[in-house]
Amino acid sequence: MSHFSTLRTKITDGQVLINSLRDLGYTVKLNADVRGYNGQRVRADIVAQLEGDYDLGWSKNPDGSYDLIADLWGVAKKH
């Protein structure tokens, strides 16, 4: 069973997202795995690496918007 949640966002500019994440001090990877519970992983276009075992990811939709993908329980527990 997957622990990942997908949340629709209104973000449409991937470069602004990447720059914002870097400005906040996150390491950003492109076309990388989002880490979740018990080693589970899911692929995303943009990934912000968090301390510990969980990440935040964004995947681009056909309409140009990005969905946030994360194991929200794990992220909330640590961050």
Q: What is the pLDDT of residues 11-67, one digit of tens each?
A: 999 999 999 999 999 999 999 999 999 999 999 999 999 999 999 999 999 999 999
Does the pLDDT of residue 73 top 80, yes or no? yes
Confidence of residue 1 (pLDDT cuts 50, 70, 90): low
Q: What is the DSSP letter of 30?
A: E
Confidence of residue 77 (pLDDT cuts 50, 70, 90): confident
Looking at residue 78, its pLDDT comes to 74
pTM comes to 0.93
Q: What are the Cα distances from residue 67, in Å, to 6, 36, 52, 57, 74?
A: 6, 16, 22, 8, 18
